Amino acid sequence: MKKWLIGKKMTMSAMALALTIPALQAPALTAEADEGGATKVVDEDGISIIVNAENDRNNTNKLVVFDPTFSYFTETNGSSYEVILKKDEGNSYHVVSSGQGDSAIPEDGVVLSTGPQTTDEIMRFLKSLEKGESVSINEPVERTYANTLDDIDPTDESNPEGAPFPGNRGANQLLLYTPAFGSSTGTNPYGYEITVTDGVVTKIGGGDSSIPSNGFVVSGHGTEAEYLKKAEIGMKVEYDADGKIELIRDASTYIFKSEQTLQEAKQSIAHAEENYIDAEFKKAHASVKEAEDFLKKAGDIQSEDPQKALEYTEEATQAAYDAYYYSLPSEVGEQRAIWYRPEEKDLDDVITTLDRMEEAGFNSLYLETTFWGYTIFPSDTMEAYGLPKQHPNFANQDYGKYGSDILKAFIEEGKKRGITIQSWTDGFMIGHSSLGLPSQFKKYPEWSAVQRNDEPGTPGSDSSSNYYWLDIANPDVQDFMLDIYKEQQEDYKITGVNIDYMRYPHHPFDKSYGFSASNRERFETEFGVDPMDLEESDALWEEWENWLREQENTFVDQLHVQSKDIYPAFMVTATPEPGAEAVLISDWVEDIDGVIPQAYGHDFNSIQSTVIASKKLTPPSMMYYTGIYSFFHHLGEKAAVNDVLAAGHGTSGVNMFAFGQASAPSVDALGKGPWRNAAINPGEDPKAAVHATVKQLKEQVASIYIPKGAVNKEEGKELENNLSKWEKMMKRPDQSLKIDKVEKEFEKTVELINSFKTLNPIVKDRVVEKMDKVEKWLNYYYEKQQ
């Protein structure tokens, strides 16, 4: 059982639990916890202090407790003060160390944190804690979180602030939707919602949530979304006509959540067995038994030690989580990628990060190799242009045999773990006003992108984001950028580049971009007018916008040609945001190999809506992945797994943002569940991915489909023989694997599958889906890598 679980709040339904163990009673609260219903930290002398928040990076004037469900690090300001505690037993800890912010959160402990601006009381208490000292954290079982609704069943008239937005939900609003509103909330994915059925929270997260006939949905945006993130499955929710709303956690919350988790696990196992899914059934059933055993222990001990009973309940919930993960299928051909900005100070740090990625099952790391105008590696190109050779964060570090070269360390150590490195770059965005003027503009002020409202001749930051931008249309800037990308590809043998910030920022007319002296002169030479003199209503204004767009497209085309000349199998991918960027991706379909649209929602429907919309803009031959934000939004482990399942549906893989916010429980969950089998990335090696997929399918026919009656022996053997032929084909040298031969074999396979009389329909759909992926990957191989 995972050490980080102790202290996690888990739950179970009183009605179902009563069938197996006596009803749990709420434990008697300690005097410290009972006072005001607040969590308190108590030192060896009995001195206590109230905890103001949990897992909250905004720790100004607050005492915050961070646990491993948040991340591997607190992500707080470096000037914060933090005390690291290691778990002993129950609610007892001991002090390990103390120091500045952004501390590593131990997998078997917590971190006490406060900001550089804090109260004397908090700082005195934390500074008084000595290494080895015993500390207890007493948390009340019962807690109420109160707030005020902005509206119930909002309309344009009742909530004018929300009128322009989907679901009538405006910025920083908290709304409640009953069945009278409609079948769903109609909101976009940029907030947070909880679904309440019969007065109890049954679903958390997502947008455009279905409204239950016997319940309601509470939806929040911005600051109010943060309030809703306090909700847990099993919490009671009460509200009145005046708009008062309360999230109520009591003993029944723990009971409900635990029971629901176990029931979901059992249902998932039954579904996997009934549908011939290749799952880890022995481990799944063992985890179910473990959960049931813990529940019995909780029932046996609840009267004499109610606190221990609740600890057993949370252990039961984790075992049920594990049972669910083991019931899921795990593919062997898909991209499992992670975006990451490196922060490692030495080689041990690099190895630790890669070990964690390997445990989760990642096979591709999109490492941020350029940011804030620097390269993370020692760059001869930067030096040749008279610019800093390496990012100061890494220039003086020691990565053992790799010297200061953190990129090389990640590449070489990643190979040992089956993790390839692609370069994720900040493109033409090279700084922020808070960091001062970028070195590029100190050396080459004419390289600066210019907004319409900028001071002439002065490099300025974006009036909205405060980012500094290189002038994308400037030929000298394009040459510089191409040289940087070429150096990475030739010197480091990265497997691909993920281009970000490759267009001018999208702004209205008065703040629009592209008005450098170079661009204005070139456009005037071609069209006879200075674009600065144009009004938005002028006929040439659209010509000017198209001209800038063509300069952007020209650069991407040059990058594509350069990359493919060096290595045909090199991947160029783009990551459009929903909206204007997603639409403009069609300009690049001939110049990029893969698209990774950013899906901001956290449920199947919202993620799949992004998938479906983006697919309409790209050709079938393009490699298609889905970008999700589970880690960045600090979702729970099961929610992160479900995000991965939704994002992988109908695609060739997933990119997660970002490993800097990953947590140990989520890493563990992915490694037990959808990513427990090692997988080959079809974008980097489509032939190998096809080989692994048909081999796995053949093994499933022999070990599952024939023995369990999904197909009779005769037809099953025919399918096995056909898949064996595919295995042999994928081992042939590239020059002997002709596309016409592959196409004929694929037609034969489809014809064979359709001829089967005994193949179970569900299994048939699964086999056809896998062969569709095989066809797509081979089309990609011939169109993009040859």
Please tell me which residue, 16 or 376, carries the higher pLDDT value: 376
Q: What are the residues whose beta carbons fall under 8 Å from the beta carbon of 666, sequence distance 6 or more?
A: 360, 630, 631, 635, 636, 637, 640, 641
- In whole angstroms, give the CA distance from residue 337 to residue 207: 25
Q: Which CATH superfamily is domain 335-672 in?
A: Glycosidases (3.20.20.80)
Per-residue pLDDT for 36 more than 60?
no
DSSP state of 434: G
The CB density around residue 564, as the number of other CB atoms within 10 Å, is 16
Q: Work out whether strand 191-197 and strand 200-204 pair parallel, antiparallel, or are unpaired.
A: antiparallel
Q: 636 versus 391: which is more confidently predicted?
A: 391
User: Would the CA dihedral through 487, 490, 492, 494 be positive or negative?
Assistant: positive
Q: How many CB atoms lie within 10 A of CB 442?
A: 12
Q: Rounded to an integer, what distance in angstroms lies between the CA atom of residue 499 and that of residue 463? A: 23
CB 607 within 8 A of CB 646: yes
Helices (H), strands (E): how many in the chain? Answer: 23, 28
626, two tokens: 């889905």
Quickly state the pLDDT bin for 275 (edges 50, 70, 90).
very high
Q: 260: Cβ–Cβ under 8 A, 6 or more apart, which residues?
A: 11, 12, 13, 202, 233, 234
Q: Which tens digit of pLDDT belongs to each residue from 584-623?
A: 888 998 999 999 999 988 888 889 988 888 888 878 878 9
Q: Which of 231, 223, 245 is nearest to 171 (CA)?
A: 223
Residue 30: pLDDT above 50? no
pLDDT tens track for 672-719: 999 999 999 999 999 999 999 999 999 999 999 999 999 999 999 999
Q: What is the pLDDT of residue 28?
A: 30
- Local structure of residue 704 (DSSP, 8 states): I
Q: Sign (positive/negative) of CA torsion 93, 95, 100, 106?
A: negative
Q: Which tokens hold the place of 602?
A: 């956290």
Look-up: residue for tokens 């002038």? 471
Q: How does residue 168 score in pLDDT terms, banded at 50, 70 and 90?
A: very high
Q: Residue 455 corresponds to which tokens in the numbers above?
A: 């001071």
CA angle 514, 517, 518 (to 5 degrees): 80
Please say if the pLDDT value at position 33 is more than 60. no
- What are the tens digits of pLDDT across the range 200-242? 999 988 889 999 999 999 999 999 999 998 898 999 999 999 9
- Write the CATH number of the domain with boundaries 28-140: 2.60.120
Q: What is the pLDDT of residue 621?
A: 79
C-alpha to C-alpha distance for 437 and 448, rounded to whole angstroms: 11
CA–CA gap between residue 724 and residue 742 (Å, rounded): 14
Residues 460-470 have a mean pLDDT of: 94
For residue 501, pLDDT beyond 60: yes
Q: How far apart are CA 524 and CA 437, in angstroms?
A: 30
Say whether pLDDT at 409 is over 90.
yes
Q: Residue 616: its pLDDT value, please?
A: 83
Per the DSSP assignment, residues forming a β-bridge with 41 are: 49, 137
Q: Taking residues 629-634, report their average pLDDT.
A: 92
> 401 exposed, middle or buried (CB, 10 Å; 0-12, 13-18, 19+)?
exposed
The domain limits of the chain are: 28-140, 145-249, 257-326, 335-672, 686-784
Task: Look at residue 127 in the predicted model and tell me its pLDDT.
Answer: 97
- The kind and range of the H/E element at 615 are helix 604-615
- Stretch 234-252: mean pLDDT, rounded? 92
pLDDT at 265 over 80: yes
Non-local CB neighbours of 731 within 8 Å, separated by 6+ positions: 691
Mean pLDDT of 260-283: 97
Model confidence pLDDT, tens digit, residues 46-67? 999 999 999 999 999 999 999 9
User: What phi, psi does 497 have (nearest 5°)?
Assistant: -130, 130
Q: How high is the pLDDT of residue 206?
A: 81
Average pLDDT over residues 454-467: 87
Task: Answer for the pair 452, 545: CB distance below 8 angstroms, yes or no.
Answer: no
Neighbours of 161 (CB within 10 A): 15
Using alpha carbons, list the distances in angstroms from residue 428 to 342, 470, 480, 481, 690.
Answer: 20, 5, 11, 8, 36
Gap between the Cα atoms of 503 and 28, Å rounded: 60
Per-residue confidence at 34, pLDDT binned at 50, 70, 90?
Answer: very low
Assess whether pLDDT exceeds 90 at residue 143.
no
Identify the pLDDT of residue 454: 84
Q: Which residues are within 8 A (CB) of 784 and not within 5 positions of it... i.e. 6 or more apart?
A: 593, 621, 622, 623
Q: What is the pLDDT of residue 669?
A: 98
pLDDT at position 90 is: 84
At 465, the pLDDT band (50, 70, 90 cuts) reads very high
Mean pLDDT of 637-657: 96
CA-based end-to-end distance of the chain: 49
List the beta bridge partners of residue 431.
468
Question: Considering only 141-150, 159-168, 217-226, 330-339, which range has the smallest mean pLDDT?
Answer: 141-150
pLDDT at 24 over 60: no
Question: Residues 137, 41: contact at Cβ < 8 Å?
Answer: yes
Please give the Cα distance from 498 to 658 (Å, whole number): 14
pTM of the model: 0.88
pLDDT at position 298 is: 86
Q: Which residues pair with 42 in a beta bridge?
A: 48, 136
Q: What rounded mean pLDDT belongs to the chain?
A: 91
- Looking at residue 538, its amino acid is D
Question: What would the two tokens of residue 211 be?
Answer: 């409204």
Q: How confident is the model at residue 411 (pLDDT cuts 50, 70, 90)?
A: very high
Q: Taking Cα atoms as reference points, which of 422, 396, 398, 424 lies closest to residue 409? A: 398
Q: Spell out the residues 6+ positions from residue 289 whose beta carbon is closer than 8 angstroms to its own.
A: none
Who wins on pLDDT, 7 or 450? 450
Q: Find out whether 280 and 211 touch, Cβ atoms under 8 Å.
A: no
On the question of a common fold for 28-140 and 335-672, the answer reads no
Over the stretch 522-552, which tens digit does the pLDDT of each residue have?
999 999 999 999 999 999 999 999 999 999 9
Single-letter residue type at 692: A
> For residue 26, what pLDDT is reported?
32
Residue 513 has pLDDT above 60, yes or no: yes
Residue 177 dihedral angles phi and psi, to the nearest 5°:
-120, 125
Residue 155: CB partners within 8 Å, gap ≥ 6? Answer: 168
DSSP-assigned beta bridge partners for residue 98: 83
Residues 6+ apart with CB under 8 A from 205: 192, 193, 194, 602, 603, 635, 639
Name the residue with tokens 């390997």: 358
Task: List b or e across 167-187, with b for residues whose CB sees 16 or more CB atoms inside 10 angstroms.
Answer: bbbbeebbbbbeeebeeebbb
The answer to whether the beta carbons of residues 607 and 628 sit under 8 Å apart is yes
Q: Residue 31 — pLDDT band, cuts 50, 70, 90? A: very low
As a whole number, mean pLDDT of residues 239-246 equals 96
| Mean pLDDT in residue range 270-278 | 98
Q: Where are the alpha helices (DSSP H) in 241-305?
A: 251-274, 281-301
The number of residues making up the chain comes to 786
